[in-house]
């Protein structure tokens, strides 16, 4: 059964946790309540060995319209020292969670919503989805989202979004061409496709895929030689895990593996 809060729906379907942003009247704008709920949900997923993949999407016409503007307005009335606080952790990577995360963009994805694109492992979108960074249009600095997107897209595409703001709204097909997303599906097939991808991800060795994702994401903060060394060390250490023996045994015996 789903766990329903006012602004976030959390469902557990087998080995998959589904997170649904649920503020449709604001196009799922992020406020502190939603950010904290997402942080708790990702941490719960990380602690639960039964959860092997995560899907995140939104209710209504929008996926996420960015930060709640009312919150931004109230922040400008506080001093810089009063505003200093830990960076909100509302994505899997921000919470150091390396379980396969599939992001299903159902509508507009703007501003802070782009964090989910930058930090997910697989991003798919409805044919009605669109992507835009409107920070500069409302007098705000855009830094975290474009920095994250640079790991996925070209600087040319990111800088156009930063500088041109709402005038540079990417359609789903343009986002696919820019490698912001990897797949476009019809709106009524979006969640089904995301669940299909998550189901596939949940069938592989949980320990192996999480270690693989950790090695890949960690490498972004290292030199190439450092990342090779760290990746090789993780590869060798994983061979002591039961799954490393179970996988080849199941293959040779022509049976489904039983992951620990």
Residue 257 lies in a domain: no
CA-based angle 149:150:151, to the nearest 5? 85
Q: Which residues of 83-115 are buried (b: 16+ CB within 10 A; e: fewer)?
A: eeeeebbbbbbbbebbbbbbbbbbbbbbbbbbb
Question: Containing domain of residue 178, as a range?
Answer: 3-203
Q: Can you give the pLDDT at residue 6?
A: 86
Distance CA 153, CA 146 (A): 9
Considering the chain, what is the average pLDDT of its residues? Answer: 93
Q: Can you give the pLDDT at residue 2?
A: 59
Q: Can you give the pLDDT at residue 87?
A: 74
104 with 229, same domain: the answer is no
134 with 226, same domain: the answer is no
> Which residue has better confidence, 84 or 240?
240
68 with 192, same domain: the answer is yes
Q: Can you give the pLDDT at residue 88?
A: 81
What does the pLDDT look like over 154-195, one tens digit per residue? 999 999 999 999 999 999 999 999 999 999 999 999 999 999
Residue 121 lies in a domain: yes
Q: Can you give the pLDDT at residue 71?
A: 58
Q: How many domains does the chain have?
A: 2
What does the pLDDT look like over 47-86, one tens digit per residue? 999 999 999 999 999 999 999 876 555 555 555 655 556 6
Q: Can you give the pLDDT at residue 68?
A: 84
Kindly report the CATH number assigned to the domain that includes residue 16. 3.90.226.10
């Amino acid at each position: 059964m789903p766990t329903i809060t006012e602004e976030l729906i959390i469902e557990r379907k087998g080995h998959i946790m589904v997170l649904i942003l649920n503020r449709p009247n604001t196009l799922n704008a992020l406020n502190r309540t939603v950010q904290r709920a997402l942080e708790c949900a990702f941490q719960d997923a990380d602690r639960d060995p039964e959860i092997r993949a995560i899907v995140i999407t939104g209710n209504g016409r929008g996926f996420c319209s960015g930060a709640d503007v009312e919150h931004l307005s109230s922040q400008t009335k506080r001093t810089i020292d009063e505003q200093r606080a830990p960076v909100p952790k509302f994505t899997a990577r921000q919470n150091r969670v390396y379980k396969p995360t599939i992001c299903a963009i159902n509508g507009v994805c703007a501003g802070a919503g782009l964090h989910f694109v930058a930090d997910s492992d697989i991003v798919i979108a409805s044919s009605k989805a669109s992507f835009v960074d409107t920070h500069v249009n409302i007098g705000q600095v855009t830094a975290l989202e474009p920095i994250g997107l640079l790991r996925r897209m070209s600087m040319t595409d990111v800088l156009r979004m930063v500088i041109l703001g709402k005038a540079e709204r990417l359609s789903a097909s343009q986002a696919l061409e820019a490698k912001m997303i990897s797949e476009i599906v019809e709106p009524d097939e979006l969640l089904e496709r995301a669940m299909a991808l998550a189901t596939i991800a949940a069938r592989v060795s949980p320990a192996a895929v999480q270690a693989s994702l950790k090695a890949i994401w960690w490498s972004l903060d290292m030199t190439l030689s450092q990342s090779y060394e760290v990746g090789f060390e993780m590869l060798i250490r994983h061979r002591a895990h039961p799954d490393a023996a179970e996988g080849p045994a199941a293959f040779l015996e022509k049976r489904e593996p039983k992951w620990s």
